Every structure is written in structure tokens, then in C-alpha cells.
Amino acid sequence: DKGGWSSFMAKEISEEPDAVANTIRGRVVDGLVQIPEMEGLDDETLRSIDRILIIACGTAAYAGMVGKYAIEQWARIPVDVELAHEFRYREPVLSPNTLVVSISQSGETMDTLMAVKYARERGARTLSICNTQGATIPRESDAIVYTHAGPEVAVASTKAFVAQITACYLFGLQLAQARETLSTDAVRALVADLQKVPDQLREVLKSGDRIAELAHWMADTRSVLFLGRHVGYPIALEGALKLKELAYIHAEGFAAGELKHGPIALIEPGQIVFVIVPSPRDERSLHAKVVSNIQEIRARGARVIAIAEAGDVAVLPHADEVIRIPLASPFFEPLLAVVPLHFFGMELAAAKGLDVDQPRNLAKSVTVE
């Protein structure tokens, strides 16, 4: 039931705040993270792990990339992300101290399932982040962190994506507590900030009408580029994937720092570029670097739509359009920045008269290799 929405996707985007809130619910005790279902991986085991490998496909792999930045930073463990179908065929080096984290909305993706089985057979520990109770992948894993996005019907993933990222944050914080790599105060501050995200997402949903206008003006565009940096990079990839699958146009996401190593050659007058702008409060000073990227592409005639935090005035003179997101901890910005891109994919597809819930050639869960 679409509940009065024009499509399941429209409904599911509107549920992104609840997907995050429901994934956090029941996992915070006294301001700290306590994931009850993690019993299969107790604190002692979590302390013995020396490497994490996240495996997933498509959108779920982009959620894993966001997770990598957060988990590595907070728990001081090397984290890699790999596409499940690549992982299994290169004889990866695994040990009992390797934790393989799979991420899957359906829990039935064959490539991911086979990668989990492979990892388990070779002695690695396995954790499943999954949205579907009792699905095959969680049943094959040592521990499960369910995302509570609710059933996702539209083929393109939206609310499950933000729930997957949220689960990665919770897992990263639980790991940091067990390994004592963050102080209790630092964890409490991050948890408190994460708990603010659902309301902040409700704010971001208000940008939907403006995005719909932009998408309708751009209905004839044949290519859109997305730039992001740090945790904004996977969001750029996600924005591009949604446009490919929903609106059937060429779209690519790049790490902003990579621009001068090649992609800038693509920029010609009229090229539409979405830029996810890091917070000016970020201590890594990535904001200035991305603003300078914007200047470079604008000088070559690109039309820039910036997604930037409220109060970031430095970006204003350089962008054709600025979509605002509320102030959040830099690590949590991906949750906020992705919503306008989910809207954009849906609205551009709608402007082209396409079926946003059932894009051509795609299935909701890919149960063949």
C-alpha cells in the first residue's frame, strides 16, 4: 500500500527519518551503545579482531564505505570494503581475527551470501547487517545487526541505505567501547548527535519540492556528475547509481580530490555537477579543498548544485544552487546529504515519465550470481 504517495519510492524516502530512528531504538543504554543481538561476538572477541572486511553489492556497498570511515576512525581497526562478487574469486587472506561484515537489505543477494559462506569456511568471523528478519545471510552469520527500515518495495534502495549506515555507526561505536579507543564521554557525545539525525532528516525532507523543480528543468540532461570527499564520496557514488537505475542516464560519482587526475576533462559548459560539500567545521579542512574544486569546474562552465550545511556562506558565490542540510557531526552528514540525491533520482525519473518503483532490467533481490 502506497499510503497516498505517488510511488513506493516516494513513501520510502519519506520514511528515511523513521528508518534511522528505528535502527537506533533499543540499542542505546545510558547513552552508550549496546546492541543486544551481538552476543555471537562478545567483547573479548571484538577485542581480538585485527581487521574488518565489509562485503556487499551496489548501494549496500556504498553504505559500507561510509561505515569504513567511521569504524576505522572510532575503533582504530583497519577496515576494507569489497564488492562481494570480487572478494570470493581472489583467494583473500582471512584469519580467525578477521571479521567479515556483510551488508544486505534483502539478506538473499547470492553474491553476498556466497562471500559470507566462503569467509566462514576459511575461519573468519562473520557479522550480518540485514533488513529482513530470518533471511539466509543472517542465518549463515555468527552475529546479526538488523536494520529496522521496514519492508522496502521500490527496487531502488533508499530507506534501507540510511538504516545500513546507521547500523555501521552503532557497530563502530560498540567496537570503540569494547576496545576503549574512544572515551565514554566521546561515545556519549556521538550517540547524542546520532539521535538527533531523525529530526534533522525531517528538515531535509522539506527540500523535496525544490529538488523536484530542478529535476523537471533538467529532464533532458544526458549526464550528471557527483563529487564528494571523505564520507561524502560514497554519497556521490550513491547519487550516481540512483540516476543510472531510475532515470537511465549516464551518471558518475567521483572523489573530489580525483578531479584533477582525470575527470575534470569531462567538464564542459552546461555539465550538471552535484557537489557534497564537507562541513566548514571539519578539522581536516576539506571544506576549502572542495570549494576550490567547485571554482575549478565552474570556471569551465559547469552548473553546480551544492549540498552544504546550514550557515556555510563560503559556498554561496560559487554554486548555482545550494541545498541546505542541518548541522550534524561530520561523520553523520552522509545520512542528511543523501536524501536530496534520492529525491533527485526519483524526480528526474518521474520527469521523464518512467516507473520509479520498477526500473527496467532490475530485480529487487538478485538471487543469481
Known catalytic residues are 364
Nearer to ligand F6R, 35 or 116 (CB): 116
Q: Measure the CA–CA gap between 141 and 82, rounded to whole angstroms.
A: 18
Grid coordinates representing 366 are 538478485
Per-residue string for binding with ligand F6R, 104-133, x by CB under 6 A?
A: xxx--x--x---------------------
Measured CA to CA, the distance from residue 326 to residue 329 in angstroms comes to 10
Q: Is residue 305 within 8 Å of residue 273, measured between CB atoms? A: yes
60 part of the interface to ligand F6R, by CB under 6 A: yes
Segment lying near ligand F6R (by CB under 6 A), choices 99-107, 188-196, 302-310, 326-334:
99-107
Nearer to ligand F6R, 62 or 74 (CB): 62
The conformational region for residue 26 under phi > 0 = left, psi -120 to 50 = alpha, else beta, is left
Residue 365 binds ligand F6R (CB under 6 A): yes
CB of 262 to ligand F6R, least distance (A): 25
Please report the sign of the dihedral spanned by the C-alpha atoms of residue 345, residue 315, residue 301, residue 62.
Answer: negative
Nine cell digits for residue 344: 533527485
Per-residue HEC secondary structure of 127-184 comes to: EEEECCCCCHHHHCCCEEEECCCCCCCCCCCCHHHHHHHHHHHHHHHHHHHHHCCCCH
The yes or no reply on residue 157 touching ligand F6R (CB under 6 A) is yes
Does residue 366 interact with ligand F6R by CB under 6 A? yes
- Least separation in angstroms between residue 63's CB and ligand F6R is 8
CB of 110 to ligand F6R, least distance (A): 9
Closest residue to ligand F6R, judged by C-beta, is 58
Residues in contact with ligand F6R by the rule CB under 6 A = 57-60, 104-106, 109, 112, 156-157, 241, 245, 365-366
